[in-house]
Amino acid sequence: MCGIIGFSGNVRAQDVLLDGLQRLEYRGYDSAGIAYFKETGKISIRKTAGKVRDLRAICDDNEATCGIGHTRWATHGGVTNRNAHPHKCGDVALIHNGIIENYHELVSEYGLEDRLISDTDTEVAAALLDKFYDGEDAIGAIKAIVPLLRGSFAFCILFKNHPGEIYAIRNVSPLVAAKCKEGTFIASDLTAFIEYGREYFIVPEYAILTMTDTEITMQDMDGKAIEPEMTEVSWDVTAAQKDGYPTYMLKEINEQPDAIARTITPRISGGLPNLSDDGIPDSFFEGCRDITIIACGSAMHAGMVGKSLIQEMLEVPVTVAIASEFRYEPPVITDESIVIAVSQSGETIDTLEALRLAKKKTKKTLSIVNVKGSSIARESDYVLYTHAGPEIAVASTKAYSVQMASFYLLACKLALVQKKISEDDAKKFMENLQNVSDSISAVIAQSDKIEQLTKRMLNANNTFFIGRGLDYTLSMEGALKLKEISYIHAEAYAAGELKHGTIALISEGVPVIALATQGHVYSKVISNIREVKARGAYVILLSMDEKITDRAICDTHISLPKVDDRFAVFSAVTVLQIIAYYASVGKGLDPDQPRNLAKSVTVE
């Protein structure tokens, strides 16, 4: 949600900022802007509603070497030039990621009305800062206003009279920083400056950063110096590029076999799951009576797969809670409960707050997170990092698959520790898990055929995804994927539930994507499919049968590789991702940046 970058150094800031913003654009892409110090020491601003390419078009040539840049996902105030960041108030220019919840109160309390020209909460912070800034003491002004703010924020600030310097502070919203030979960098995430260096640090909350062209110093709110904890990035710049693919999403779908292998292979020893390198002791899995999974969106759908699996293997109740709901209901967990938070970004505010709530009840929290050092990873008792590499497309694909794979690892580990599975069976289970990469590749090889069948869906107003058991959990993910990038309405339904109302919506030609990979309910699903087919639906069936030509069952059949039923989710969801992808491309849309959305939802 909103991308931030700051740079002070010995090369042209505008190039660094615009290229960085291009990479951060997935965090928000409705407006963009930069601010920089001119040679005169004055602060200059360029900003516009639209994409980073629109911003590029209005930037002039300038040799400034210090500046800040922002790409916006609107929260307060419409998508207009005026509301784009940076916001300049008097002697201060500022960019912001987050929400200042008490901005209305601040306006009246500090008489800021006359200073404001936009509708944003951010400009209030800029105005407040300017009010407290005496033209000299930048840090003093920051210290004065931060305690007044309620909400989440990551700020990068330029102060007049401090040319060449960037000040920054954050609460909840992420910031990382680095010093390289070209200068000093700060950004919402590493993708913005990965090409300049591999060493970086996560900016601690409430640390005040001062960046010059050669140095970054930090102090806490009491003025005590803070040393950065340096860490090294585990992927290189190509991982954050399209690498010959037309879109990030297609690249990321194709990366799934490798991403899964990277996530599970180092965690298998002697054929069995081994989480000792992650520092997760077996005692964590002992004596657990119930498990709660908290997450949002696709991560929550991965959790539903985890629930089905763990419940079956462990015979303990597993609840999947939508993080934003969990936060406002009394949590039904005890100190013996395991709570698993799932998040690609590790910054989703609802999941983070749900985790914080859960931690008040249990010390057994574990997170499944992709971004190293992110807030959710740092705040949970244990972390299982997924190794998907950077996921740039807004719609999650490879991160979802590695989250599922992580649940398979955890389910097997739990079942072993709790003696619900023999070592031999656990080895077979892990072997099956290692083979899922091949089954995904086999499906990707059928992409052309899948692309063809999406043509049938492009003019549909409604589509349905149906299945039972694990297939139902995948239906939810398939429907979400289709909705978010193709804007075709899609609804997921447990196949047996359709006849209790929703079947009324099935009429001639309505596309129904049916999943039938689960042997124990296969014949039941086929009966449900016949029911919709009989009412005119256009059925696309995914199953592990070699061929189905019976037109009373389906119009098109996609044959999935034959695997143990429990492992069919990996190839099946890949088909659903490819369907959504080509539906989006077929409608002339940009699957990487769907309207109204942004990656990493750091607002509630």
For ligand F6R, the binding residues (CB under 6 A) are: 296-299, 343-345, 348, 351, 395-396, 480, 484, 600-601
- Does residue 599 have an active-site annotation? yes
Catalytic residue (choose from 179, 361, 398, 599): 599
CB of 477 to ligand F6R, least distance (A): 8
Contact of 13 with 7, CB cutoff 8 Å: yes
**3-state SS string for 494-540:** EHHHHHHCHHHHCCCCCEEEEEECCHHHHHHHHHHHHHHHHCCCEEE
Nearest residue to the partner ligand F6R, using Cβ: 297
The nearer residue to ligand F6R, 75 or 518, going by C-beta atoms, is 75
State the amino acid at position 215 in one-letter form.
E
CA nearest to 100, candidates 91, 110, 90? 110
Which residue number, 52 or 480, has a Cβ lying nearer to ligand F6R? 480
Nearer to ligand F6R, 4 or 323 (CB): 323
- Distances 573 to 399, 428, 440, 487, 521 between C-alpha atoms, Å: 12, 22, 9, 19, 18
- With H, G, I as helix, E, B as strand and everything else as coil, classify residue 97: strand
- Give min distance, CB of 194 to ligand F6R, in A: 19
Q: How far is the CB of 351 from ligand F6R (least distance, A)?
A: 5
Shortest approach of ligand F6R to residue 300 CB, angstroms?
A: 7
> Phi/psi zone of residue 479: left (φ > 0), alpha (ψ -120 to 50 degrees), beta?
alpha
Among candidates 561, 252, 579, 551, which has minimal Cα distance to 448?
579
Task: Output 351 or 463, the one with its CB closest to ligand F6R.
Answer: 351
Cβ(403)–Cβ(343) under 8 Å? Answer: no
Q: Which is nearer to ligand F6R, 165 or 350 (CB)?
A: 350
Who's near 322: CB < 8 A, 6+ residues apart?
A: 295, 296, 300
Q: Judged by CB, which is closer to ligand F6R: 1, or 494?
A: 1
**How many Å apart are CA 214 and CA 4, to the nearest integer?**
20
User: Minimum CB separation from ligand F6R for residue 112, in Å?
Assistant: 33
Question: Residue-wise over 164-195: b if at least 16 C-beta within 10 A, else e?
Answer: bbbbbbbebbbbbbbbbebbbbbbbbbbbbbb
CB of 298 to ligand F6R, least distance (A): 3
Burial class (CB in 10 A: 0-12, 13-18, 19+), 428: middle
φ, ψ (nearest 5 deg) of residue 271? 80, 0
- For the record, the structure tokens of 419 come out as 């003696």
Quote the CA–CA distance of 114 and 118 in Å, as a whole number. Answer: 11
Q: Is 363 a catalytic residue?
A: no
Residue number with CB closer to ligand F6R (120 or 344): 344
Distance CA 148, CA 384 (A): 36
Closest approach of ligand F6R to the CB of residue 593, in Å:
12
Task: Identify which of residues 149 and 260 has a Cβ nearer to ligand F6R in the complex.
Answer: 260
User: Rounded to the nearest 5 degrees, what angle is found at the Cα of 477, between the Cα atoms of 530 and 604?
Assistant: 140
Could you identify the residue written with the tokens 């942004």? Answer: 598
Q: How far is the CB of 205 from ligand F6R (least distance, A)?
A: 19
Residues assigned a catalytic role: 2, 599
